[in-house]
Amino acid sequence: MRIGAGSAAAGAVAKITLLEPSSMWGADRAVAASDRVRFAAIGTGTRGCQLLEASLLVPGIECVAVCDLYDSRHEAAQESVQKKVPATRNYREILDRNDVDAVIVAVADHQHRRVVVDACAAGKDVYCEKPMSHTVEDGFAMVDAVHKANRILEVGSQRVSSIVYEKALEIYASGALGEVFFIEGSSDRNSPGGAWVYPIPPDASEQTIDWNAFLEGAPKRPFDAARFFRWRCYSDYGEGLAGDLFVHLLSGIHFISGTNEVAKRAQSSGGLFRWKDGRDFPDLIETLYDYPKFRVALRCNLNNAGGEPIRFHGTKGTMEINGQTLTFTPQNVSPKPETYSTLGWPARLRKQYLAQWKAEHPEPAPLDYEANEAMIFSAPEGYSDLAAHQARFFDAVRTRKPTVENEVFGNHAAIGCHLANYAYFENKIATWDAAAKTIRG
Ligand SMILES: NC(=O)c1ccc[n+]([C@@H]2O[C@H](COP(=O)([O-])OP(=O)(O)OC[C@H]3O[C@@H](n4cnc5c(N)ncnc54)[C@H](O)[C@@H]3O)[C@@H](O)[C@H]2O)c1
């Protein structure tokens, strides 16, 4: 289909292609009974329940137990998985079960390390939600735990398994963008929910929630439902906008550009302008990253809804991902005589230059892509990158071949978030010291 493209360059036409989901996601793909993977979910809050619902689309897996610190979430998890599976507050009971091959860990970020390290030691493979780590130290402890126990770990930035990102990777790797020196991404929202001001359920109390278990690895304090349900706002449990949202942008950028390393340096700016509810983090943050081959500019703003675009600016074209749509717009780089700077020349010299230019360029050079024609690729209605990402994890559990977003990839993306916060809070350029595995100012 060809249409005049709103999002592409003015006057351009665009070719739209509907992407075919790969067999990875094929919900109808048969899996032998002997290959069935039994899993349990640890942390069945908002994300845990989403993951359980999406797991119903993945063939050859079965949820056998769920775990959460808040009792009403046992019920929510059973509703999501459409089965009255056993539920507990204590994740160690899950790890002790011999019928559990793998665990999906969707607990608050400060608990990732504890649960993942214990799960690996218990011989379970792990799907761990993003960002992998709460601190740099946590990330390396988790990598060590996975390697020591020879486990499969996939981090939960699901877009890395999206067909849209696969197409972006193909375009990037083809060289159609030319050389890419600048990549930008943003994640902007404008609502209380977007700013993590989540409602507190009416039955929330110290009786229904294991508050002390939630505080493991964090400073002790009296029960505070806001901290339990809006933990992203507090540095004891979350990493603010960088950990929550930059991590998706960084994971996507790393995947598409074939980068599996931490940026060398980061500089941040921002501020807390509007959501002054006692939170520790800014509601606007912008970070500039120095990678060896390109620079990356990221922004999160909770004061204007702008979606989550990622843009790759190449010498031959621009590629933008926005939601489930990818647009590639070539730049017209066919050779042409330079006319602007010759405006200050007398007509006879201009004529002479143009004649010489024409003689030196008898034919226009062929273009890789037809100039002025944008290409738009879109995922079909109902496509779930979350189910695709889980399918990839469970396939890795069967084949023992690591997924792309494994512990090393996830650790690198998370360190990018820690760099952004370090630069913001320390008011310094954050430098990554890879040998010492630490951030320096
Ligand atoms: N990939 C994505 O797009 C995406 C989206 C949302 C959240 N997440 C991630 O998922 C994780 C959970 O986020 P959420 O929004 O569901 O938070 P949430 O607060 O809704 O749920 C977290 C749950 O974890 C439970 N929990 C905490 N520590 C526990 C422990 N030791 N044992 C058992 N349960 C424990 C809590 O009781 C809570 O119910 C976070 O790491 C978050 O960053 C990822």
Point out the ligand 1 atom lying closest to the alpha carbon of residue 229.
19
Is residue 90 within 8 Å of 67, Cβ to Cβ?
yes
CA 186 to chain centre: 12
Best residue among 68, 103, 211, 215 to mutate for probing ligand 1's pocket (most ligand atoms within 8 Å of CB) is 68
Pocket test for ligand 1, best of 42, 114, 129, 165 (most atoms within 8 A of CB): 129
Cα–Cα dist 119/114, whole Å = 9
Q: Is-contact 101 124, C-beta < 8 A?
A: yes
Checking DSSP bridges between strand 102-105 and strand 310-314, what pairing results, if any?
unpaired
Q: How far apart, in whole angstroms, are the C-alpha atoms of residue 22 and residue 26? A: 7
- Residue labelled with tokens 């209605």: 381
Please give the angle made by the CA atoms of 257, 258 and 261, to the nearest 5 degrees: 105
Q: Does residue 49 have its Cβ closer than 6 Å to ligand 1?
A: no
Question: Taking the CB of residue 356, how many other CB atoms lie within 10 A of it?
Answer: 11
Residue 107 CA to ligand 1 centre (angstroms): 3
- The contacts of residue 59 (CB under 8 Å, 6+ apart) are 26, 27, 28, 29, 30, 31, 391
Which neighbouring-strand residues pair with 271? 284
Is the separation of the CB atoms in 336 and 225 below 8 Å?
Answer: no
Residue (of 118, 18, 33, 106) closest to 69 by Cα position: 106
Which is nearest to 75 in space by CA: 198, 194, 260, 201?
Answer: 201
Instruction: Please give the C-alpha separations between residue 94 and each of 133, 193, 293, 301, in angstroms, as whole numbers.
Output: 22, 32, 44, 39
Amino acid at 220: K
Alpha carbon nearest to ligand 1 atom 38, residue: 45
Q: Render each residue's pLDDT in the chain as its tens digit; 441 residues.
A: 343 333 444 445 688 898 987 655 555 577 888 889 999 999 999 999 999 999 999 999 999 999 999 999 999 999 999 999 999 999 999 999 999 999 999 999 999 999 999 999 999 999 999 999 999 999 999 999 999 999 999 999 999 999 999 999 999 999 999 999 999 999 999 999 999 999 999 999 999 999 999 999 999 999 999 999 999 999 999 999 999 999 999 999 999 999 999 999 999 999 999 999 999 999 999 999 999 999 999 999 999 999 999 999 999 999 999 999 999 999 988 888 898 999 999 999 999 999 999 899 877 655 544 556 899 999 988 888 999 999 999 999 999 999 999 999 999 999 999 999 999 999 999 999 999 999 999
Cα 8 → chain centroid: 25
What DSSP element (H or E) covers 318?
strand 317-322
Q: How far apart are CA 354 and CA 333, in angstroms?
A: 18
Residue that the structure tokens 């201009």 belong to: 350
- State the amino acid at position 211 in one-letter form: W
The Å distance, Cα 48 to ligand 1 centre, comes to 6
Q: With CA atoms as reference, report the closest residue to 365 among 331, 317, 329, 333.
A: 333
Helix and strand element counts for the chain (H, E): 13, 18
